[in-house]
Amino acid sequence: MTLTLGFLAQHLGAELRGDAHYQVDSVATLAQAQPHQLSFLSNSKYQSYLASCAAGVVILSPKDADAWQGNALIVPNPYLAYAKAASLLHPSIQVAEGIHPTANIDATAVIAADVCIAAGVVIGAEVHIGSGCVIGANTVIDRGVVLGQHCWIGPNVSILHHCVLGDDVMVESGSVIGSEGFGWAKDGERWVKVPQLGRVIIGDQVSIGANTCVDRGAIEDTVIESGVKLDNLIQVSHNVTIGANTAMAGSSGVAGSTRVGKRCTIAGMVGVAGHLTIADDVHITAMTLVSHSLTEAGVYSGNLPVEPNAQWRKNVARFRQLDAMAKRLKQLERSVHEQPADA
């Protein structure tokens, strides 16, 4: 796709500095970009790359604009403008056209006219698939599932019975929507399965990465609100609610019945325990265990940083003596401050 800078400036709401008729056809990094390409600078600490940059145009913010002499698209948020420009220059390509003859579609399924369904897809009874959806090869969409419009479902996905997806939902390869919640009642030494009768309800503009699992609810539903972005290999347990526009990074997880607020960011490998409430606008750093509710917005942590093993072993050994150390410290304080009386 070839676009003029004038078109891009208008589309991005950017101030154009340079030749409005100049054309670019793709994106590249500052270091790699050629004259036919667009690049961007969103973090001033990489400003030094501009000196030797050969890009045809650079998206940057007003404060970096003087550091670059070439064509510029000047915006308050260069990363956002880059995202939009890259989408224009590199439109995504559909993985399938029409309905492949090897797709197995139940006679009772209702499929909009312009849906693309790839080879080997299996679609169960009473499924509804909205206009503009694309379903990747060998994906399974179980009975009673509803997909809104313009959903993109990758290859080898499993969307299990009666789950409901809104519009513009993306689900990547290997993910499972509507797996059984982990609900077991003790019966002596044995576990008896608690039927998982709820569904997964997913809003609009939700994105779910690869090999992620969202369990169906036990009685009521598991809910992923609109605008949520989930990375790969995430575990969302039964009856969890993830609030609108929250983003969770790879290999994180939320245990059963926890409510995560809106606009939160949850970093990689974070674990949130069950039956908690996480407020809106909470940000949790990597590998933290969230073991109690967080009732106020803010940044929370719980990890320990890496150290050379030799140092680490010493500090860990001391950690195991920490309670004893605290008692010795208290005792010492008593000795020192009451010394006249003791002596």
**Window 165-184: residues binding a copy of itself (CB under 8 A):** 170, 172-176, 179-180, 182-184
Residue closer to a copy of itself, measured from CB, 47 or 173 = 173
Q: Are 40 and 82 in contact (CB under 8 A)?
A: yes
Per CB under 8 A, does 311 bind a copy of itself?
yes
Instruction: List the one residue out of 241, 156, 257 whose CA is nearest residue 206.
Output: 241
Per CB under 8 A, does 297 bind a copy of itself?
no
Binding mask 117-156 for a copy of itself (x = CB under 8 A): -xxx-x-x-----------xxx-x-xx----------xxx
Cβ-defined contacts of 65-71 (< 8 Å, 24+): 65/17, 68/41, 70/18, 71/5, 71/16, 71/17, 71/18, 71/19, 71/22
Which of the residues 36, 90, 162, 238 is marked catalytic?
238
Chain residues 211-230 in contact with a copy of itself, contact rule CB under 8 A? 211-213, 215, 219-220, 227, 229
CB of 95 to a copy of itself, least distance (A): 7
Per CB under 8 A, does 269 bind a copy of itself?
yes
Task: List the alpha helices (DSSP H) in 45-155.
Answer: 78-89
Select the residue interacting with a copy of itself from 15, 34, 51, 312 (CB under 8 A). Answer: 312
Per CB under 8 A, does 320 bind a copy of itself?
yes
Q: How far, in whole angstroms, is CA 173 from its chain's centroid? A: 14
β-strands 190-193, 229-230 pairing: unpaired
Is 11 a residue of the active site?
Answer: no
Per CB under 8 A, does 45 bind a copy of itself?
no
Per CB under 8 A, does 8 bind a copy of itself?
no
Classified as helix, coil or strand, 36 is coil
309-319 vs 322-337: helix crossing angle, rounded to 10 = 60
Which active-site residues does the annotation give? 238
